[in-house]
Amino acid sequence: MKALPLLKIAAVVASLTLAASVTAQTSASPGASDTSATAGASAPSATSESVGQHISDGTVTTKVKAALVTAKDVKSTHIHVKTRRGVVWLTGSVPTSDEKTRAEQVAAGVSGVHEVKNRLKVRGAE
């Protein structure tokens, strides 16, 4: 049973490495919005999302998941994380209200997180 936490940590590390390399490649190349602005095209709508924004949200999601996995006082196996423009949504379930509060604190402490929407349900010990 000790192999499962090690596998989770290895998966998170691999995800972080991949996200970091994709972010580095994207920031080194000009974005699509830069070329369309110079070509005289209309600006993207408020609801559209640039490639850089999407990757940034993916990076934040990965960082939050990694922080939750490594937090000793949070059982993260049933916590789902989504990020949109720096707003992180936590969904799923945790055994106690203390873990719900702690999961929100851990997520809020990650760089790039502007706000946390904690939608976790307390389900009791499993």
The one-digit pLDDT tens for each residue of the chain (126 residues) are 566 666 677 677 766 666 655 554 444 444 444 444 444 444 444 455 666 666 689 999 999 999 999 998 898 889 999 999 999 999 999 999 999 999 999 999 999 999 999 999 998 755
Helix, strand, or coil (residue 38): helix
State the Cα–Cα distance between residues 46 and 126, nearest whole angstrom.
43
- What integer pLDDT is reported at residue 123 of this predicted model? 87
- Counting every residue, how long is the chain? 126
Provide the token pair at 18: 């991949």
Provide the token pair at 117: 């929407």
Q: Structural domain boundaries of the chain?
A: 3-122
- What integer pLDDT is reported at residue 38 of this predicted model? 40
User: Which residue type sits at 87?
Assistant: V
User: Which residue type sits at 42?
Assistant: S
- What integer pLDDT is reported at residue 93 of this predicted model? 94
- What integer pLDDT is reported at residue 31 of this predicted model? 44
- What integer pLDDT is reported at residue 125 of this predicted model? 58
How much is the pTM?
Answer: 0.60
E strands, the chain, where?
Answer: 79-84, 87-94, 115-122
HSE (side-chain half, CA atoms, 13 Å) at 39: 8
- What integer pLDDT is reported at residue 34 of this predicted model? 43
59, 78, 104 from 18: Cα distances, Å: 9, 23, 25
